[in-house]
Structure 1
């Protein structure tokens, strides 16, 4: 239905993506206001329903009400459906259903897929969409089965497997919603190796991007990896390792986080809190109890986020790597940014700068606004919450449930901007780029 609306409006791909996500959020909001969606039989207030639907569709995980105790099975399934559609992209899901009924995928639909998956070409895009659906289903099913078996030691079998599937889908799509109650996330499993390793694996698999997964899977046949895949894998591994080591060192003596844990528990908790900012949102330590230095590190990791073409948000690992490469090249006096003996084109560096500055502008503007509307909150708590919303992470220091109505609206807009991307919104609102028939003379300014 949504796809037919887009076709009638004759929108270009960026505008279609923005409006498509908006319509899905509106549908989810309507369903969550129904009496059958909440345990109290009254439905969510409209603003809280909008916030929850936006958080689920934008696979963020910030919540104003506790998911496990507020919603009925119907309400939870609505949230789960929004997470799945939001994580994979509504065009990917629509393409899958079109293929099921053997409908031909038009050129327009292929262009929409290209835009939603952030690809440079439409070649093989339908095959990639099928791979995404199959891989996602397998990862979620296997993860859900293992988690269900583990949860069965703590709860009835049926409930355990439902919890397992819910948390597998939520974490693979980097959403961070949980059913554990009292906003506790997975803190009760902080030292459990099964839960930690399975959820961490799901987060990483969902966050490295489907192109990377496809290339790694086919490596035995092709014996080659693209530059994109190499940069994603190396940057992801470096960020996880550095983050885990720093969190371990910074929190080792903190009596509220790592200190009471066993040696294995300390390692697992450090690893989990390093991976979840990329941008999953579930946590095994109470985020509010962490030291300021650790919280600032998590803010940085959240802002960087996951990788292109994934279920995660942030400015993306490749953007971060490109900027670091440009800085290193400048320090060394080199003209080119080189990765794995390949040169990065200048327009990619400009695009990385644009994405980063756009993201910083959104975070700074919303942080300033919330500093006015939520005057009683600490600045670091506000900055943490805004970065989490923009990066569609979902980690929280506890500010979100206490937000004013204006604060909730600001966070809703931030989550939406973070999911569809500042550049996509800019392109959707801007006029078509026109060819320039002249160039101005060169000028010089002093930098630094």
Structure 2
């Protein structure tokens, strides 16, 4: 079956059995092929059509698609067992927890594995309530923590929240980066403050220097926990192992996901300092997961973390990110009438346009040249660039060149 025929069949199945809106949107954007395989920085169609992946999951494929070390590790684990008994101790999960704890900031020591970032946030919220005995949470406007009920309650864009109201009680949202608003919002009923070190889905928003340190101090003064969501920023993406390393801040709980599974398995986790883990003392089954922490997923975690350390992925993200950011800033200077701002850290870059219509035209232009990207979920006028760390400088130069062409096309079409 050729690529076009397979696309038509797949789109028909989406229309009838999966998500008609996505099928329609894909046709509208001219993406009339399907993904078939992937390697490194590229996603390939059935006939070998090569798309440079600058979306990356988003943020999942930090070490690239199908890294050979992770593929081999998972293949070997499949020869043994994929899922655990939940009765006998699991040495693979224990090894994965040890490796995560060794990389986490400060004295974070204990790890709970689940299947997604949203599940990790749910577990962190439960842990904070149980440990503190307090009901409330303070979060940031524009934040994104997932679309399960608790994670959605903590998140900050109404288009994803309003259809499911009433959401969970006890969540207050303050402007991101506003220290005074945080001071006023945190009280003696606050279980935790939940923040992203960089707001990824709100358009790659970087807070003022010292903001995380201040949040840490506010939590300490009020007896509240600090939860940092590093699901997308963590494991090297921003040029450091953790984005919170920039300010040398240790949260009480940190949430992980995306790159944690090495781009091979859906894995999430929340990890915490020893004091918080008292939640499991009386009842070790107070929070569990059928598939979370399974041997196959944890083998992927072990291998992925080894790659991240051995190949110094954080430094690679920093270097490639500098090259990408510099190139995009040059494009922004040339197209100042079209591009409002370029910002980012490491290989986490956002390009903001005056409105989402321009952003969508630029995305379409990139896709026509077989470069994959998308807008940020909470801020559709921002185009995100999150390629794998294995992207080369030559490939980055191509992205910058095609981005400039797409901006030219959008400006001409809209007569800007």
TM beyond 0.5? no
Q: The TM-score by the shorter chain falls in which range?
A: 0.3 to 0.5
Name the structure where helix makes up a greater proportion of residues: 1
Q: TM-score, normalised by structure 2?
A: 0.34
Q: TM-score, normalised by structure 1?
A: 0.32
